Structure 1
């Protein structure tokens, strides 16, 4: 593969990274804090590709002027411009074009069903919830308060939880959100069981649930982690948040 071909691929790849970073598509792959690093990497790739193309074209023109009689015989000119370059090398463009043209969805119910729930972190003392009714609580925070604090900091409060619907082992819907350490490759779900008002939203639908603490504790059949429950009072289907991961 010629250096021009490699530079074009690098240019497209860098452009895809910049595009996904500026349009928030990158949030489907990595955490938001990595934005500046991705943007910087994309700019470096684009700059390097442009410089490579410019240098190679200039060198090619200079060589053609000096050795015009050597061209047209099908031999490589030393810069990868031979007429017998394998075309199969261009197939490497396919994943780059896919990144430019196709935006795969964020991890959802399928990934959640294949992985065990993240165990909530134990704490010696949970701070009181902020003022407000209902108070918005993250799924991981709610699970920790429900499992390790026995719901003490949740009792008497109305909470609002946001996540997507994933089927439980018994077919009943659960509320879930993927938790990332770095990127989608290490994503694992935090799952919350649902009792009270029934939710008939389909899998992968994002919902906003308003409810109260439930003392019910379940077990994830995948990894035997304890699962907190929330008693649903009301719910509504919503659009996927800008940042789908916890």
Structure 2
């Protein structure tokens, strides 16, 4: 691979990063807060490609041909993967093979307005498990996540929480009771409305706390724009 070809690969890779960063595609790989860094990386790669091409065009001394390392063409693999393959968000298969990542928060803010109260999976689970449901008493809640069914058929509402990127995503789980749909399909996204239910289940993978939610109604919803839960670091 000569310098001109290297510049072309860099340009295409930078363009692919910019494409991902200006659409929702990047949310399949990294958290939304990293979007500026992703766009900056794409811009730097494009600038490097243009500088390389300009430099090569200005070289006027005689070149001595020599074989280029063929391994350099492997740089095309991540580019092709980014362009041709849009991986699905992690789902029930990953969730059931990882223990809940729920951790005790530093504190709880006031509940949002509304009836029912819209809460993330992480927010509801932490209030129910570590706050013993005190802030949830007397309030109906609405939570959205995907379904996971364990080996015994017990249903969980799950959201994968990110620290940085999809590679470190970990599940936070809510055990569902009450008025559940007659057919439960793993990985289906549901918006459930219900109320705090006392008691805790234990995650069979790491013995972590899994709070209950008593469902009063539910409805299927499309996969959200950002399938990961980013309240993890807030």
- For these two proteins, the number of residue pairs brought into alignment is 228
Q: What whole-Å deviation, never above 9, does each CA across 1:174-211 have from its counterpart, x for those lacking one?
A: 11011111111211110000101123342222111111
Residue number in structure 2 paired with 1:12: 12
Residue number in structure 2 paired with 1:37: 37
Name the SS of the counterpart of 2:6 in structure 1.
helix
Matched, 1:174 2:146: no
Q: What whole-Å deviation, never above 9, does each CA across 1:38-85 have from its counterpart, x for those lacking one?
A: 1011011011102212221332xx34xxx5xxxxxxxxx34xx54x54
Instruction: Give me the whole-angstrom Cα distance separating, in 2, the residues matched to 1:147 and 1:89.
Output: 51
Matched, 1:221 2:209: no
- Of 168-177 and 134-143, deviating more is 168-177
Instruction: Give me the whole-angstrom Cα distance separating, in 1, the residues matched to 2:96 and 2:13.
Output: 32
Instruction: Give me the whole-angstrom Cα distance separating, in 1, the residues matched to 2:221 and 2:99.
Output: 25
Instruction: Give me the whole-angstrom Cα distance separating, in 1, the residues matched to 2:110 and 2:49.
Output: 54
**1:137 CA drift (Å):** 0.9
Cα–Cα, structure 1 residues 123 and 33, in superposed 2: closer, same or farther, change >3 Å? closer
Ranges in structure 2 where 5+ consecutive residues have no aligned partner: 230-234
8 Å contact from structure 2 (residues 180, 217) kept in 1: no
Residue number in structure 1 paired with 2:140: 158
**1:37 CA drift (Å):** 1.2
Instruction: Give me the whole-angstrom Cα distance separating, in 1, the residues matched to 2:48 and 2:114.
Output: 52
8 Å contact from structure 1 (residues 207, 236) kept in 2: yes
8 Å contact from structure 1 (residues 21, 38) kept in 2: yes
The 5 Å alignment of 1:1-246 reads 1-59=1-59, 62-63=60-61, 77-78=63-64, 82=66, 84-85=67-68, 87=70, 89-122=72-105, 126-199=108-181, 200-246=183-229
- Alpha-carbon RMSD across the aligned residues, in angstroms, is 2.0
Name the SS of the counterpart of 2:228 in structure 1.
coil
Greater Rg, structure 1 or structure 2? 1
